[in-house]
């Protein structure tokens, strides 16, 4: 009986220790990414659900924590790319993506693919662009979506192109390099996307 009692304490300690480690990892990564408390709490909820369903078996705590944070950002509509999560975690992008798919399926998170619109506020503030430009960007993205110009394209690239166009239309032009840097895509991608958007949405860009 005593053995069983001690074992329970040991298991309990290990479980609590692992949970504490996971939560500290979530906090560390969230801080590094400057994420608000709500996102950290959401990530903690996702992680705890994963623990309750024994989804950690065969997976690293760091990996599940990173995947939980990635999922939480999307649930809260403040998405971070897998590359950004990878930068603050100790796990590879491949592992994070793999773990994300797993917990997303097992916990039935049913998340829609990231919308380019959700990247607009963050990218615009990173470029010191006002609300007017943000609104214009969102308007462009809604039109782009209606005209089927976003399926299969990277959300960050499409968002970057819309912001690039909006900044010009609003008289607060940002260069492709500046937009590319905050969006984490190349100038070539911005160029390809903005040309397609300008042409299909009949937007005149005067440089």
Partner 1 sequence: MSESSIKIENVVASTKLAEEFDLTLIESQFEGAEYNKQKFPGLVYRVSDPKAAFLVFTSGKVVCTGAKNVADVHTVIGNMAKKLNSIGIKTIENPQITVQNIVASADLHTILNLNAIAIGLGLENIEYEPEQFPGLVYRIDEPKVVVLIFSSGKLVVTGGKSPEDCERGVEVVRQQLDNMGLL
Partner DNA sequence: ACTTTACTTTGGAAAGC
Partner DNA sequence: GCTTTAAAAAGTAAAGT
**Whole-angstrom distance, CA of residue 124 vs CA of residue 128:** 6
- When asked if residue 98 is in the footprint of partner 1 (CB under 8 A), the reply is no
Residues 9-48, mask of contacts with partner 1 (x by CB under 8 A): ----------------------------------------
Residue among 97, 102, 132, 191 that touches partner 1 (CB under 8 A): 97
Spatial distance between the Cα atoms of 202 and 177, rounded to a whole number of angstroms: 24
188 touches, from DNA, partner 1, none (C-beta below 5 to 8 Å by class):
DNA
Pair 55, 106: CB distance under 8 Å: yes
Q: How long, in residues, is the chain?
A: 207
* 41/26 Cα distance (integer angstroms): 9
Instruction: Kindly state the number of chain residues that form the binding site for partner 1, as judged by CB under 8 A.
Output: 19
- Closer to partner 1 at the Cβ: 123 or 133? 123
Q: Which is nearer to partner 1, 8 or 142 (CB)?
A: 142
Closest to 122 measured CA to CA, from 88, 76, 187? 76
Judged by CB under 7 A, which of 48, 49, 122, 191 binds DNA? 191
Task: State which of residues 19, 27, 49, 97 lies at the interface with DNA (CB under 7 A).
Answer: 97
Does 207 engage in binding with partner 1 (CB under 8 A)? no
124 neighbors 82 (Cβ within 8 angstroms): no
How far apart CA 163 and CA 161 sit, in angstroms, is 5
Residue 115 binds DNA, judged by CB under 7 A: no
Least Å from the CB of residue 93 to DNA: 8
Interface pattern 104-143 for partner 1 (x via CB under 8 A): -x--x-xxxxx-----------------------------
Residue 127: C-alpha distances to residues 27, 87, 104 (Å): 26, 21, 32
Q: Which residues contact 194 (CB under 8 A, 6 or more apart)?
A: 161, 164, 165, 205
193 binds DNA (CB under 7 A): yes
Q: Where on the chain is the footprint of partner 1 (CB under 8 A)?
A: 81-82, 97, 101, 105, 108, 110-114, 145, 148, 151-156
């Amino acid at each position: 009986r005593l053995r069983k009692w001690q074992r329970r304490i040991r298991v309990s300690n290990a479980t609590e220790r692992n949970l504490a480690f996971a939560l500290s990892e979530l906090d560390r990564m969230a801080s590094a990414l400057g994420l608000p408390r709500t996102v950290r709490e959401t990530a903690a909820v996702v992680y705890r659900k994963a623990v309750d369903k024994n989804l950690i078996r065969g997976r690293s705590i760091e990996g599940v924590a990173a995947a939980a944070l990635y999922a939480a950002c999307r649930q809260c509509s403040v998405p971070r790319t897998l590359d950004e999560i990878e930068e603050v975690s100790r796990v590879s992008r491949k592992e994070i993506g793999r773990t994300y798919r797993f917990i997303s399926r097992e916990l039935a998170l049913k998340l829609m693919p990231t919308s380019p619109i959700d990247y607009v506020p963050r990218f615009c503030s990173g470029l010191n662009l006002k609300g007017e430009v943000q609104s214009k960007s969102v308007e462009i993205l809604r039109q782009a979506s209606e005209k089927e110009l976003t399926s299969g394209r990277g959300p960050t690239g499409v968002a970057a192109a819309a912001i690039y166009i909006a900044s010009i239309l609003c008289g607060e032009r940002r260069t492709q390099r500046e937009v590319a840097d905050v969006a984490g895509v190349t100038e070539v991608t911005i160029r390809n996307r903005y040309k397609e958007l300008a042409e299909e949405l009949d937007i005149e860009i005067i440089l």
